[in-house]
Amino acid sequence: MTLHIFNPDHDLALAADLVPYTAPHAGRQLRADLSWLPALWSEEGDMVLVDNVENAHEYTRHIRKYVSKVQFVTFDDLARLHGGELEQISVWGWNRALCHQLKSYNKQFVALMPKSGQLAFIRTVSNRKWASEKLLPKLSSLHHLLVGSAVYTSELPFDADGLLLEKYCTGDVCVIKAPWSSSGRGIRYVERKLTTAQQNWIRNLIDKQGGIMIEPYYNKVEDFGMEFSIDAGGQTKYCGLSLFATQNGAYSGSVLATEDAKRRLLSRYVPERLLDIVRKGIIARMAKLLKGKYVGAFGVDMMIVRHNGALKMHPCVELNLRRTMGHVALALTPANGEPQQMMRIKYDGSHYHLRIFTTGEDLLDTTIIRGL
Protein backbone atom coordinates (compact mmCIF):
# COMPACT_ATOMS: atom_id res chain seq x y z
CA MET A 1 0.00 0.00 0.00
CA THR A 2 1.18 3.51 -0.85
CA LEU A 3 0.43 6.76 0.93
CA HIS A 4 0.05 9.67 -1.53
CA ILE A 5 0.50 13.32 -0.54
CA PHE A 6 -0.20 16.49 -2.53
CA ASN A 7 2.05 19.28 -1.22
CA PRO A 8 1.96 22.10 -3.82
CA ASP A 9 3.91 24.40 -1.48
CA HIS A 10 6.97 22.21 -2.18
CA ASP A 11 8.94 24.79 -4.20
CA LEU A 12 8.41 27.47 -1.58
CA ALA A 13 9.49 25.05 1.13
CA LEU A 14 12.70 24.34 -0.81
CA ALA A 15 13.39 28.06 -1.11
CA ALA A 16 12.84 28.70 2.58
CA ASP A 17 14.65 25.49 3.66
CA LEU A 18 13.20 25.86 7.15
CA VAL A 19 12.10 23.24 9.66
CA PRO A 20 9.34 23.67 10.63
CA TYR A 21 7.96 25.66 7.69
CA THR A 22 4.62 27.42 7.30
CA ALA A 23 3.49 28.02 3.72
CA PRO A 24 1.75 31.25 2.69
CA HIS A 25 -2.05 31.22 2.89
CA ALA A 26 -2.52 30.57 -0.85
CA GLY A 27 -0.27 27.50 -0.68
CA ARG A 28 -2.09 26.13 2.36
CA GLN A 29 -5.46 26.72 0.71
CA LEU A 30 -4.41 25.01 -2.52
CA ARG A 31 -3.14 22.01 -0.56
CA ALA A 32 -6.33 21.80 1.50
CA ASP A 33 -8.73 22.13 -1.45
CA LEU A 34 -6.94 19.78 -3.85
CA SER A 35 -5.37 17.30 -1.44
CA TRP A 36 -7.47 14.57 -3.08
CA LEU A 37 -5.67 14.96 -6.44
CA PRO A 38 -3.43 11.85 -6.04
CA ALA A 39 -6.59 9.73 -6.26
CA LEU A 40 -6.29 10.34 -10.01
CA TRP A 41 -3.08 8.28 -10.28
CA SER A 42 -3.21 6.09 -7.16
CA GLU A 43 -3.77 2.34 -7.24
CA GLU A 44 -6.93 0.87 -5.80
CA GLY A 45 -6.61 0.49 -2.04
CA ASP A 46 -3.94 3.18 -1.62
CA MET A 47 -4.19 5.96 0.95
CA VAL A 48 -4.44 9.66 0.06
CA LEU A 49 -3.71 12.26 2.74
CA VAL A 50 -6.39 14.97 2.89
CA ASP A 51 -7.36 17.76 5.26
CA ASN A 52 -11.00 16.70 5.40
CA VAL A 53 -12.25 13.24 4.36
CA GLU A 54 -15.85 14.35 3.83
CA ASN A 55 -14.78 17.24 1.59
CA ALA A 56 -12.50 14.94 -0.42
CA HIS A 57 -15.40 12.60 -1.18
CA GLU A 58 -17.55 15.57 -2.19
CA TYR A 59 -14.89 17.02 -4.52
CA THR A 60 -14.28 13.68 -6.25
CA ARG A 61 -17.98 12.84 -6.61
CA HIS A 62 -18.16 14.97 -9.77
CA ILE A 63 -15.25 13.22 -11.50
CA ARG A 64 -15.75 9.74 -10.14
CA LYS A 65 -14.87 8.02 -13.44
CA TYR A 66 -11.28 9.32 -13.19
CA VAL A 67 -10.72 8.49 -9.52
CA SER A 68 -9.36 5.24 -8.08
CA LYS A 69 -11.00 3.59 -5.08
CA VAL A 70 -8.66 4.92 -2.42
CA GLN A 71 -8.84 5.51 1.30
CA PHE A 72 -8.79 9.17 2.27
CA VAL A 73 -6.96 9.72 5.56
CA THR A 74 -6.01 12.68 7.75
CA PHE A 75 -2.85 13.39 9.73
CA ASP A 76 -4.64 12.11 12.83
CA ASP A 77 -5.26 8.81 11.00
CA LEU A 78 -1.56 8.61 10.10
CA ALA A 79 -0.62 8.94 13.76
CA ARG A 80 -2.51 5.72 14.45
CA LEU A 81 -0.95 3.65 11.66
CA HIS A 82 1.25 0.73 12.68
CA GLY A 83 4.47 -0.44 11.07
CA GLY A 84 4.10 -2.62 8.01
CA GLU A 85 0.80 -1.12 6.83
CA LEU A 86 2.61 1.10 4.32
CA GLU A 87 5.10 0.01 1.66
CA GLN A 88 5.98 3.48 0.37
CA ILE A 89 5.13 7.17 0.48
CA SER A 90 4.61 9.02 -2.83
CA VAL A 91 4.58 12.81 -2.60
CA TRP A 92 4.24 15.78 -4.96
CA GLY A 93 7.75 16.77 -3.94
CA TRP A 94 10.16 15.78 -1.14
CA ASN A 95 11.62 18.47 1.13
CA ARG A 96 12.87 18.78 4.71
CA ALA A 97 9.72 20.51 5.93
CA LEU A 98 7.42 17.71 4.75
CA CYS A 99 9.68 15.04 6.26
CA HIS A 100 9.67 16.89 9.57
CA GLN A 101 5.88 17.11 9.50
CA LEU A 102 5.42 13.41 8.73
CA LYS A 103 7.91 12.38 11.40
CA SER A 104 6.13 14.51 13.98
CA TYR A 105 2.93 12.49 13.42
CA ASN A 106 4.45 9.04 13.12
CA LYS A 107 8.14 8.23 13.62
CA GLN A 108 7.68 4.93 11.76
CA PHE A 109 7.50 6.91 8.49
CA VAL A 110 11.22 7.74 8.72
CA ALA A 111 12.14 4.42 7.07
CA LEU A 112 10.05 5.37 4.02
CA MET A 113 11.41 8.92 3.62
CA PRO A 114 14.56 10.17 1.84
CA LYS A 115 17.64 10.55 4.01
CA SER A 116 19.17 13.97 4.70
CA GLY A 117 21.72 13.59 1.88
CA GLN A 118 18.98 12.78 -0.62
CA LEU A 119 16.94 15.78 0.52
CA ALA A 120 19.96 18.03 0.05
CA PHE A 121 20.44 16.58 -3.45
CA ILE A 122 16.79 17.24 -4.34
CA ARG A 123 17.12 20.85 -3.23
CA THR A 124 20.33 21.30 -5.24
CA VAL A 125 18.84 19.84 -8.42
CA SER A 126 15.67 21.91 -7.96
CA ASN A 127 17.76 25.08 -8.04
CA ARG A 128 17.48 26.53 -11.58
CA LYS A 129 21.27 26.80 -11.60
CA TRP A 130 21.60 22.99 -11.76
CA ALA A 131 19.54 22.52 -14.92
CA SER A 132 21.20 25.53 -16.57
CA GLU A 133 24.59 23.86 -16.14
CA LYS A 134 23.89 20.12 -16.16
CA LEU A 135 20.97 19.69 -18.56
CA LEU A 136 20.29 22.67 -20.83
CA PRO A 137 23.74 22.85 -22.53
CA LYS A 138 23.63 19.13 -23.36
CA LEU A 139 20.15 19.31 -24.80
CA SER A 140 20.60 22.51 -26.79
CA SER A 141 23.67 21.03 -28.50
CA LEU A 142 21.71 18.07 -29.92
CA HIS A 143 20.25 19.89 -32.95
CA HIS A 144 20.53 23.24 -34.72
CA LEU A 145 16.82 23.92 -34.08
CA LEU A 146 17.35 23.79 -30.31
CA VAL A 147 18.14 27.02 -28.52
CA GLY A 148 18.48 28.16 -24.92
CA SER A 149 20.92 29.57 -22.39
CA ALA A 150 20.93 30.80 -18.82
CA VAL A 151 23.52 32.29 -16.47
CA TYR A 152 23.68 32.09 -12.69
CA THR A 153 25.39 34.82 -10.71
CA SER A 154 25.82 35.59 -7.04
CA GLU A 155 27.06 39.11 -7.73
CA LEU A 156 24.98 42.20 -8.45
CA PRO A 157 24.55 42.14 -12.26
CA PHE A 158 24.13 45.90 -12.72
CA ASP A 159 26.35 48.97 -12.49
CA ALA A 160 25.97 52.08 -10.33
CA ASP A 161 23.40 53.49 -12.76
CA GLY A 162 21.23 50.37 -12.61
CA LEU A 163 22.20 49.19 -16.10
CA LEU A 164 22.49 45.41 -16.54
CA LEU A 165 26.05 44.39 -17.38
CA GLU A 166 26.50 43.20 -20.98
CA LYS A 167 28.00 39.88 -19.89
CA TYR A 168 24.59 39.04 -18.43
CA CYS A 169 22.20 40.74 -20.84
CA THR A 170 22.92 41.83 -24.41
CA GLY A 171 19.33 42.30 -25.59
CA ASP A 172 16.79 44.98 -24.75
CA VAL A 173 14.87 42.65 -22.44
CA CYS A 174 16.05 39.86 -20.14
CA VAL A 175 14.37 37.44 -17.76
CA ILE A 176 15.56 37.30 -14.17
CA LYS A 177 14.50 34.34 -12.04
CA ALA A 178 14.86 33.27 -8.44
CA PRO A 179 16.81 30.00 -8.07
CA TRP A 180 13.78 28.51 -6.29
CA SER A 181 10.27 29.83 -6.84
CA SER A 182 6.71 28.73 -7.54
CA SER A 183 3.91 29.62 -9.99
CA GLY A 184 5.72 32.50 -11.67
CA ARG A 185 6.26 34.45 -8.45
CA GLY A 186 10.04 34.50 -8.76
CA ILE A 187 10.24 35.75 -12.35
CA ARG A 188 10.71 39.29 -13.67
CA TYR A 189 10.94 40.54 -17.26
CA VAL A 190 13.27 43.53 -17.17
CA GLU A 191 14.77 46.06 -19.56
CA ARG A 192 18.48 46.82 -19.54
CA LYS A 193 17.89 49.83 -17.28
CA LEU A 194 16.56 48.50 -14.01
CA THR A 195 14.16 50.40 -11.80
CA THR A 196 15.02 50.94 -8.14
CA ALA A 197 12.39 48.37 -7.17
CA GLN A 198 13.93 45.78 -9.51
CA GLN A 199 17.42 46.43 -8.14
CA ASN A 200 16.14 45.95 -4.59
CA TRP A 201 14.33 42.74 -5.59
CA ILE A 202 17.59 41.38 -7.03
CA ARG A 203 19.55 42.35 -3.91
CA ASN A 204 16.98 40.60 -1.73
CA LEU A 205 17.09 37.43 -3.85
CA ILE A 206 20.87 37.24 -3.73
CA ASP A 207 20.79 37.81 0.01
CA LYS A 208 18.15 35.13 0.66
CA GLN A 209 18.86 32.51 -2.04
CA GLY A 210 22.52 33.14 -2.81
CA GLY A 211 22.14 34.24 -6.43
CA ILE A 212 19.86 34.79 -9.42
CA MET A 213 19.33 33.37 -12.91
CA ILE A 214 19.51 35.64 -15.95
CA GLU A 215 18.19 34.43 -19.29
CA PRO A 216 17.58 35.94 -22.73
CA TYR A 217 14.02 36.90 -23.52
CA TYR A 218 12.58 34.60 -26.16
CA ASN A 219 9.59 35.33 -28.38
CA LYS A 220 7.39 32.49 -27.15
CA VAL A 221 4.95 30.80 -29.51
CA GLU A 222 3.88 27.81 -27.42
CA ASP A 223 4.36 26.42 -23.91
CA PHE A 224 4.69 22.67 -23.46
CA GLY A 225 6.59 20.09 -21.48
CA MET A 226 7.61 16.46 -21.18
CA GLU A 227 6.82 14.42 -18.11
CA PHE A 228 8.90 11.53 -16.73
CA SER A 229 9.46 9.26 -13.75
CA ILE A 230 12.55 7.44 -12.52
CA ASP A 231 12.94 4.39 -10.26
CA ALA A 232 15.64 3.42 -7.78
CA GLY A 233 17.69 1.69 -10.47
CA GLY A 234 17.77 4.77 -12.67
CA GLN A 235 15.24 3.39 -15.15
CA THR A 236 13.65 6.52 -16.58
CA LYS A 237 10.15 6.34 -18.06
CA TYR A 238 8.66 8.88 -20.45
CA CYS A 239 5.08 9.61 -19.39
CA GLY A 240 3.93 11.95 -22.15
CA LEU A 241 3.66 15.48 -23.51
CA SER A 242 2.03 18.29 -21.59
CA LEU A 243 0.39 21.19 -23.45
CA PHE A 244 -0.33 24.00 -21.04
CA ALA A 245 -0.88 27.72 -20.79
CA THR A 246 0.55 30.29 -18.41
CA GLN A 247 -0.49 33.77 -17.32
CA ASN A 248 2.27 36.02 -15.99
CA GLY A 249 4.47 32.95 -15.65
CA ALA A 250 1.92 31.01 -13.56
CA TYR A 251 0.21 27.81 -14.69
CA SER A 252 -3.38 28.38 -15.84
CA GLY A 253 -4.53 25.17 -17.55
CA SER A 254 -3.84 22.12 -19.71
CA VAL A 255 -5.23 20.50 -22.83
CA LEU A 256 -6.35 16.90 -22.36
CA ALA A 257 -5.68 15.08 -25.61
CA THR A 258 -3.94 11.97 -26.90
CA GLU A 259 -0.17 11.89 -27.34
CA ASP A 260 -0.54 11.68 -31.13
CA ALA A 261 -2.76 14.76 -31.22
CA LYS A 262 -0.30 16.76 -29.11
CA ARG A 263 2.61 15.70 -31.30
CA ARG A 264 0.69 16.81 -34.40
CA LEU A 265 0.20 20.26 -32.91
CA LEU A 266 3.88 20.73 -32.11
CA SER A 267 4.87 19.43 -35.55
CA ARG A 268 3.27 22.56 -37.01
CA TYR A 269 6.29 24.42 -35.67
CA VAL A 270 9.26 22.04 -35.58
CA PRO A 271 10.02 18.61 -37.08
CA GLU A 272 8.36 15.87 -35.04
CA ARG A 273 11.65 14.00 -34.79
CA LEU A 274 12.99 16.90 -32.71
CA LEU A 275 10.65 15.85 -29.91
CA ASP A 276 12.16 12.37 -29.97
CA ILE A 277 15.71 13.71 -29.96
CA VAL A 278 15.02 15.81 -26.87
CA ARG A 279 13.06 13.05 -25.12
CA LYS A 280 15.90 10.56 -25.60
CA GLY A 281 18.44 13.18 -24.54
CA ILE A 282 16.60 13.88 -21.29
CA ILE A 283 16.23 10.19 -20.48
CA ALA A 284 19.91 9.47 -21.07
CA ARG A 285 21.13 12.49 -19.14
CA MET A 286 18.78 12.30 -16.17
CA ALA A 287 19.14 8.54 -15.75
CA LYS A 288 22.87 9.07 -15.34
CA LEU A 289 22.62 12.06 -13.00
CA LEU A 290 19.71 10.90 -10.81
CA LYS A 291 20.39 7.16 -10.49
CA GLY A 292 20.43 6.12 -6.86
CA LYS A 293 19.75 9.66 -5.68
CA TYR A 294 16.15 10.37 -6.61
CA VAL A 295 13.02 8.26 -7.10
CA GLY A 296 9.78 9.72 -8.40
CA ALA A 297 8.26 11.99 -11.01
CA PHE A 298 9.86 14.92 -12.75
CA GLY A 299 9.04 17.22 -15.65
CA VAL A 300 10.86 19.49 -18.07
CA ASP A 301 9.09 22.65 -19.28
CA MET A 302 9.85 23.75 -22.84
CA MET A 303 8.83 26.34 -25.41
CA ILE A 304 8.48 26.82 -29.12
CA VAL A 305 10.06 30.21 -29.84
CA ARG A 306 10.65 32.48 -32.78
CA HIS A 307 14.41 33.07 -32.81
CA ASN A 308 16.41 34.90 -35.47
CA GLY A 309 13.52 34.64 -37.91
CA ALA A 310 13.00 30.89 -37.47
CA LEU A 311 10.86 28.66 -35.28
CA LYS A 312 12.97 26.77 -32.77
CA MET A 313 12.54 24.77 -29.60
CA HIS A 314 13.84 25.65 -26.13
CA PRO A 315 14.37 22.18 -24.59
CA CYS A 316 14.66 23.12 -20.91
CA VAL A 317 13.03 26.31 -19.66
CA GLU A 318 12.70 24.66 -16.28
CA LEU A 319 13.31 21.32 -14.60
CA ASN A 320 10.77 20.33 -11.94
CA LEU A 321 12.12 17.53 -9.74
CA ARG A 322 8.63 16.68 -8.54
CA ARG A 323 5.23 15.76 -9.90
CA THR A 324 3.67 18.50 -12.05
CA MET A 325 0.29 19.62 -13.32
CA GLY A 326 1.39 17.96 -16.55
CA HIS A 327 1.34 14.62 -14.73
CA VAL A 328 -2.15 15.45 -13.46
CA ALA A 329 -3.29 16.18 -17.02
CA LEU A 330 -1.82 12.90 -18.25
CA ALA A 331 -3.87 11.02 -15.65
CA LEU A 332 -6.96 12.52 -17.32
CA THR A 333 -5.95 11.79 -20.93
CA PRO A 334 -8.98 10.84 -23.05
CA ALA A 335 -8.97 7.57 -24.97
CA ASN A 336 -8.80 7.50 -28.75
CA GLY A 337 -12.15 8.64 -30.10
CA GLU A 338 -13.11 10.57 -26.97
CA PRO A 339 -13.36 14.38 -27.18
CA GLN A 340 -10.48 16.61 -26.23
CA GLN A 341 -10.97 18.51 -22.98
CA MET A 342 -9.52 21.35 -20.94
CA MET A 343 -8.31 21.10 -17.35
CA ARG A 344 -8.13 24.26 -15.28
CA ILE A 345 -7.42 25.08 -11.65
CA LYS A 346 -9.96 27.78 -10.76
CA TYR A 347 -10.01 30.02 -7.69
CA ASP A 348 -13.44 31.39 -6.74
CA GLY A 349 -12.18 33.86 -4.17
CA SER A 350 -12.11 31.42 -1.28
CA HIS A 351 -11.37 27.94 -2.65
CA TYR A 352 -9.53 26.20 -5.48
CA HIS A 353 -11.32 23.78 -7.79
CA LEU A 354 -10.20 21.45 -10.56
CA ARG A 355 -12.46 21.86 -13.56
CA ILE A 356 -12.65 19.68 -16.68
CA PHE A 357 -14.39 21.17 -19.71
CA THR A 358 -15.57 19.53 -22.91
CA THR A 359 -16.29 21.86 -25.83
CA GLY A 360 -17.01 21.52 -29.51
CA GLU A 361 -13.94 23.57 -30.40
CA ASP A 362 -10.58 22.35 -31.63
CA LEU A 363 -8.64 22.58 -28.38
CA LEU A 364 -5.38 22.14 -30.23
CA ASP A 365 -5.96 25.45 -31.96
CA THR A 366 -3.11 27.56 -30.56
CA THR A 367 -5.39 30.54 -29.89
CA ILE A 368 -7.49 28.37 -27.60
CA ILE A 369 -4.47 27.01 -25.75
CA ARG A 370 -3.22 30.51 -25.05
CA GLY A 371 -6.64 31.50 -23.78
CA LEU A 372 -7.01 28.66 -21.27
Over residues 18-54, the pLDDT tens digits come to: 998 998 898 899 999 999 999 999 999 999 999 999 9
Using DSSP bridges, classify how beta strands 173-177 and 212-216 pair: parallel, antiparallel or unpaired: antiparallel
| Helix ranges, the chain (H) | 10-16, 25-33, 53-61, 75-79, 96-105, 116-126, 128-134, 136-140, 196-209, 259-266, 272-290, 325-331, 366-370
232-249 per-position pLDDT tens digit: 889 999 999 999 887 766
- Assess whether pLDDT exceeds 50 at residue 354: yes
The neighbouring-strand residues paired with 5 are: 91
pTM: 0.91
The amino acid at residue 29 is Q
The amino acid at residue 73 is V
Q: Taking each helix axis from N to C terminus, what angle separates 116-126 and 96-105, rounded to the nearest 10 degrees?
A: 140
Question: What was the pLDDT predicted at 61?
Answer: 87
Q: How far apart are CA 220 and CA 311, in angstroms?
A: 10
